[in-house]
Structure 1
Amino acid sequence: MNLIAGVERQLDTLAVQSLTRRRRTADSPCAPRQVVDGRSMLAFCSNDYLGLAAHPRVIAALHEGADLYGAGSGAAHLVSGHSRAHAQLEERLAAMQAPHLADARALYFCTGYMANLAALTALGSSPDATIFSEALNHASLIDGARLAKAGVTVYPHGDVAALETKLLESGAGTKIVVTDSVFSMDGDLAPLPALLALCERHGAWLVVDDAHGFGVLGANGRGALEHFALRSPNLVYVGTLGKAAGVGGAFIAAHASVIELMIQRARPYIYTTASPPALAHALLASLDIIEGAEGMERRAHLNRLISLLDDELKLKRWQRLPSRTAIQPIVIGANDEALRAASRLHEQGLWVPAIRPPTVAPGTARLRVTLSAAHTQDEVAQLAAALNHLETQQLERTAA
């Protein structure tokens, strides 16, 4: 068998199904106005929800962190790679989540993917455990559940009653319910208060992946737990620091004993080199902004942009999902039509990605619009006008 020919057949199949993914190369910092593949673009595709990725204070802190700690950590956290910057960041993150967790402690990871793998494999390390996973959970949560020794049961999206039935039927010694807070392709929020009440009744952990909520949700930007005013020892909170926080990495916050378990058992933490300390130092500046007056104003501006897009879009066949978050999906349906729409926008200098299966269900290909506090009202109005015009052209083409 020709191995390369087999690989090329797989690639051809993806192309026929309009499922080929393409990388673009940014030549400038992450911002609404970017130079991409040598061309100026207005981007609506990053997760830099507060516009902190290129914030002068964060950049200055990154420079300072490099001066203090050098370029790299040199080893895993449990060898010699755990710096004072890492320790200070974990203390700060634990303090942010302390109102919502008993005896809070935090643990910093290189990526959100690693944090989710760590949380589920450490908590679900026994075959006597069962993970109850939300149907629309992020791939990292799905993979974490697959890698755990625990059994896995999937419950329908947002269906608390169905989850309760599954919990009642389960004889597992350890029950772990896991959900995104903000669903990355739909932009809606999980019913966290109802899920937590259910977990407390059934003695289950509730693992919340707040990748798209931390920094954005809550009066102080502390995330979904603050947004819903939740507090419980059953909570295990995962926050991402490369989205609204603008830098990189992620953390788990939970009861101190749970974090100690992660340190002792979580392979994605134990067996990898610690992230550069300069990143942790920069994140301290980012957290200052998130919790301060500037962060509050940026969240308010972002909410105004969300309302503006809602007001300006006049879609007839395409569907804007009812999201009040920075994630604003426009469901188109067919893969090829979504690709054409993204291509037409790109021709106009608007960078909006087409999302297709397996990231979303077949027949629900979409444009994933993401808004940032760094966008202006005029830029959002420009996008809305382009989408309205594009859909009208498509309707006229279909009618003809």
Structure 2
Amino acid sequence: MGPIKSDASNLTSSACTRKTFTIELMSLAVENHPQTRSQLAHLTAQLDTFRQAGTFFRLRELEDIQGPVCTYDGRKVINLASNNYLGLCNHPKLEEAAIQAIKDHGVGSGAVRTIAGTMRIHMELEEKIAAFKNVEACVVFQSGFSANAGTVSSILGKEDFILSDELNHASIIDGARLSKAKIKVFRHKDVAHCEEILQEIANEPGKKLIITDGVFSMDGDIGPVGELAALAEKYGGIMMVDDAHASGVLGRNGRGSVDHFDVHGKVDVQVGTLSKAIGALGGYVCGSRDLIDYLYHRARPFLFSTSHPPSVAATCIAAFDILENEPDRIQRLWDNTAYFKQQLAHSGFNIGGVNTPASETPITPIIIGEGRKTMDFSKALFEAGLMATGIAFPTVQEGKARIRTIMTSEHTRAQIDQSLEILTTTAKTLSIL
């Protein structure tokens, strides 16, 4: 792959016109509206602390298609930041399915699912996912976050207990808090510690829910789903897994961590996403028919959110067809991941395992430690032609800031090699290597 040009000539004239128009609108807004009122001065003060720490950021704008190489803020960069694991965001079959669904069903559903917004295509998608995951039923939510938060908060109450891995996703934490259940946190992937807690509360009334990520989004390590499922069975608990980053990545044809560990029938609640490897938008919950019917009645994000546009549902159906019929995509993903990790380690980067969990998936963190240095590294990488996002506190613990990289099936070997060259050269310039 040749050098990635990053000058203004990469922008089309229409994009330049749009940017100019946007800047003019922003200027007009500043002229016509006063600065932050004193009632919100505490927000300005907090933002100032972010700036002082070097962790303040602005959103980057994607100007073309989400791919291994794309244009952000007018600069053509290799993209190691997206969750588009299998390159399905712009797959022709998904595009065709979306266009046909718009022609057949329009652009919106017009209501929440429980009133008038359940279309036949929504049910087809849920049936498709349930069959794929080898469960009785499935319900689709508007996002993976709402699927987690809505499920945990609705199936438990204040008399119950939640045993949660300390590095579980924020959506799990929020759902646990909303449920008002008693929250017990076990050390990361520490099954013995989880069992200690179960023993301590064995005689307490109420249900016990064990919950873990299938793949942890910041470190890329795999949760001990099989062992935790065995614990849940031993102590009569409910087992739940969030497979957002395992969907389309682990298991046969991307069936997730339950399939990866072969614990079908032993995980009561499986949460997945349609927003990452599937290439579209949304989240889903799989389990028994009674679980799904209950969520229809009590999961607030489901009850009070308009259902997906039919084009999104059709896109997701097409994506699951591709998972079944194109397993080579997942193999390419893992081949690229193995090569990238090997080369990073050879170059001397800390990619986990030293005071942090070791990555086992296409999510590969490059541990820097200090927040400002991490953000400076990320900015320098972008200037050099590489999109690799800096992650700092509070998303990760203080002292464990990192560049989080994500490999996809669609990166070419030339693109991976150029990424490695940019990472190494920039790291040496900044005295990181």
Shorter chain as denominator, the TM-score bin is over 0.9
Distance in 1, matches of 2:205 and 2:307, equals 35
Unaligned stretches of 5+ in structure 1?
A: none
RMSD: 1.5
1:19 aligns with 2:55: yes
Q: What is residue 147 of structure 2 aligned with on the other side?
A: 115
Residue 350 and residue 386 in structure 1: after superposition, are their counterparts in 2 closer, same or farther (change >3 A)?
same
Give the alignment of 1:64-75 within 5 angstroms: 64-75=100-111
Query: 1:302 maps to which residue?
Result: 333
> How many angstroms apart in 2 are the aligned matches of 1:262 and 1:194?
27
Distance 2:57 2:91 in 1: 30
1:155-207 C-alpha deviation (Å, 9 max, x unpaired): 11001011001111111420111111000000000011100000000111111
Task: Determine if the alignment matches structure 1 residue 262 to structure 2 residue 295.
Answer: yes
Q: Does 1:286 align with 2:322?
A: no
Report deviation, 1:86. Answer: 0.3
User: 1:232 aligns to what?
Assistant: 265
Whole-angstrom distance in 1 between the partners of 2:340 and 2:139: 37
CA deviations on 1:328-356 (whole Å, 9 max, x unpaired) are 11000001111111111111110000000
Q: 1:251 maps to which residue? A: 284
Residues 269 and 285, structure 2, Cα contact 8 Å, conserved in 1: yes
Q: Distance in 2 between the 1:33 and 1:167 partners?
A: 48
Residue 138 of structure 2: aligned partner: 106
Distance in 2 (CA, whole Å) between partners of 1:386 and 1:80 is 52
Residues in 2 aligned to 1:52 and 1:8: alpha-carbon distance in whole angstroms: 39
Q: Are 1:376 and 2:412 counterparts?
A: yes
Question: Aligned pair 1:140/2:171, yes or no?
Answer: yes
The alignment partner of 1:220 has SS state of helix
> 2:256 aligned with 1:220, yes or no?
no
- The alignment status of 1:33 with 2:60, answered yes or no, reads no
TM-score by length of 1: 0.94
Q: Judge conservation of contact 1:85–1:278 (CA < 8 Å) in 2.
A: no
Give the C-alpha shift of residue 320 in structure 1.
Answer: 4.4
**Contact kept? 2:374, 2:402, Cα under 8 Å:** yes
Secondary structure of the equivalent of 1:90? helix
Q: 2 CA distance for matches of 1:191 and 1:6?
A: 42
The AA in structure 2 aligned to 1:117 is A
What letter corresponds to residue 207 of structure 1 in structure 2? M
Question: 1:168 and 1:390, CA in 2 relative to 1: closer, same or farther beyond 3 A?
Answer: same
1:338 matched to 2:369? The reply is: no
Q: Which moved more, 1:75-84 or 1:168-177?
A: 168-177
- Render the CA deviation track for 1:222-244: whole Å, top value 9, x for unaligned: 11111111122542100101100
Q: Name 1:82's counterpart in structure 2.
A: 118
Q: Comparing 344-353 with 1-10, which one deviates more in the overlay?
A: 1-10
1:315–1:391: 8 Å Cα contact kept in structure 2? no
Give the letter aligned to residue 236 of structure 1.
V
Distance 2:40 2:307 in 1: 36
Q: Counterparts of 1:323 and 1:317 in 2: how far apart (Å)?
A: 13
1:74 and 1:358 mapped to 2: Cα distance? 38
Number of residues of Structure 1 aligned to a counterpart in Structure 2: 390
CA distance in 2, matches of 1:209, 1:319: 23
Identify the residue that residue 226 of structure 2 maps to in structure 1: 193
Q: Specify the code of the residue in structure 1 equivalent to 2:388.
A: V
What residue is the counterpart of 2:181 in the other structure? Answer: 150
Is 1:327 equivalent to 2:359 in the alignment?
A: no
Q: Could you tell me how far 1:317 is from its partner in structure 2?
A: 6.0
How far apart, in 2, do the equivalents of 1:324 and 1:2 lie? 48
Q: Is the 8 A contact 1:75 1:81 kept in 2?
A: yes
2:427 alignment partner, one of 373, 391, 399: 391
Give the 5 Å matches for 1:175-186: 175-186=208-219
Name the larger-Rg structure: 2
Once the two structures are superposed, what CA deviation does each residue of 1:303-340 show, in whole Å capped at 9, x if it has no partner? 11111112222343644453231101100000111111
Cα distance in 1 for residues equivalent to 2:351 and 2:107: 46
C-alpha distance in 2 between matches for 1:327 and 1:256: 33
